[in-house]
């Protein structure tokens, strides 16, 4: 495993939010305990139907923390006060207003790194075998399905494996699902970046209706960044990004600590039978 001494344990706690609790020991228990401490309560029970639409969140850091919320193709951010402690965030399939990347940024998200090692021979071979056809959407869907089929090994929370290591071990948590998917996309010539944040789960480590730490992938389709989530199966409005980066642990520095101070004060657009207060 590639070492990342200062934040390896924190990033290991980016546990896919839909996976159930199970017996843990040692570093596994420590990683899950850290993730549990970073769960963010939801003010509503949010059904799959509700999360398929558009949700507007009122988020607040306590105590106040200035945070550079990312705008993406699916996430629109408006700050509520000068201290940047409160934000209104809209999430849906296409409600974001992120500016198009320049050539240098796209090149960054095509390049391999120590974790998203898209130049590894096994990663490249796997990508060639599965990213067939034309069109970014089709190829990314095929890669998501291939990752989900392949990653059927043990669920482990206490590491941050590279894409090639995940491909070899076939196990991990949403971190490994994401770095592998990003590497496969880059190996296929698709710019891909990682989104570090949280995702809604109706059941997670004994807690109901919470947002848990999560990591997923955003691919550039020539017009905008589009999210793909191999860990949970699909992207929806229950995903809130706190930062985007190249898939290395350093880009997620501070995210876990920020989740420990974050509150979801309200969520709008949940007014049918698909959303009720707990």
CATH number at residue 150: 3.10.620.30
Which H or E run includes 239?
strand 239-245
pLDDT value of residue 84:
63
Domain annotation covers residue 3: no
160-178 pLDDT, tens per residue?
899 999 999 998 888 999 9
Domain annotation covers residue 159: yes
- pLDDT score of 53 more than 60: yes
pLDDT value of residue 4:
44
pLDDT value of residue 98:
94
Average of per-residue pLDDT across 168-191: 95
The pair of structure tokens assigned to 50 is: 């509700």
207-224 pLDDT, tens per residue?
778 999 999 999 999 999
Domain annotation covers residue 76: yes
| Least confident segment among 32-36, 235-239, 252-256, 265-269 | 32-36
21-38 pLDDT, tens per residue?
444 556 667 766 777 778
Angle subtended at Cα 114 by Cα 110 and Cα 116, rounded to the nearest 5 degrees = 45
Range of the domain at 51: 8-267
The percent of residues in the chain predicted with pLDDT above 90, rounded, is 59
The percent of residues in the chain predicted with pLDDT above 70, rounded, is 81
Domain annotation covers residue 275: no
Distance CA 182, CA 225 (A): 13
Is the pTM of the predicted complex or chain greater than 0.75? Answer: yes
Distance CA 48, CA 268 (A): 15
Domain annotation covers residue 189: yes
Domain annotation covers residue 103: yes
List Cβ<8 Å contacts ≥24 apart for 200-204: 200/17, 200/42, 200/46, 200/51, 200/238, 200/239, 201/17, 201/18, 202/45, 202/46, 203/18, 203/20, 204/17, 204/18, 204/21, 204/39
Domain annotation covers residue 2: no
The closest of 27, 5, 93, 86 to 261, measured between CA atoms, is 86
Q: How many domains is the chain built from?
A: 1
Domain annotation covers residue 203: yes
Average of per-residue pLDDT across 118-139: 96
């Amino acid at each position: 495993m590639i070492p990342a001494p200062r934040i390896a344990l924190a990033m290991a706690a980016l546990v896919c939010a839909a996976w159930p609790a199970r017996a843990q020991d040692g570093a596994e228990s420590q990683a899950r305990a850290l993730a549990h401490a970073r769960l963010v309560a939801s003010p509503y029970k949010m059904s799959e139907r509700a999360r398929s639409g558009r949700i507007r969140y009122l988020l607040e850091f306590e105590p106040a923390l200035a945070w550079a919320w990312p705008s993406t193709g699916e996430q629109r951010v408006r700050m509520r006060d000068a201290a940047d402690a409160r934000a209104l965030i809209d999430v849906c399939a296409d409600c974001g207003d992120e500016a198009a990347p320049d050539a240098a940024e796209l090149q960054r998200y095509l390049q391999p790194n120590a974790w998203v090692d898209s130049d590894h021979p096994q990663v490249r071979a796997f990508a060639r075998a599965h990213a067939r056809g034309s069109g970014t959407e089709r190829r990314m869907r095929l890669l998501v399905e291939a990752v989900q089929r392949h990653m059927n090994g043990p669920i482990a929370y206490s590491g941050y494996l590279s894409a090639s290591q995940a491909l070899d071990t076939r196990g991990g948590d949403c971190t490994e699902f994401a770095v592998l998917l990003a590497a496969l996309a880059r190996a296929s010539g698709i710019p891909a970046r990682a989104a570090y944040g949280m995702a809604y789960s109706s059941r997670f480590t004994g807690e109901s209706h919470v947002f848990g730490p999560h990591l997923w992938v955003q691919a550039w389709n020539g017009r905008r960044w589009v999210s793909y989530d191999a860990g949970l199966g699909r992207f929806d409005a229950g995903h809130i990004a706190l930062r985007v980066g190249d898939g290395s642990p350093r880009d997620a520095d501070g995210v876990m600590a920020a989740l420990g101070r974050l509150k979801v004060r309200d969520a709008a657009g949940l007014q049918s039978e698909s959303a009720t207060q707990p």
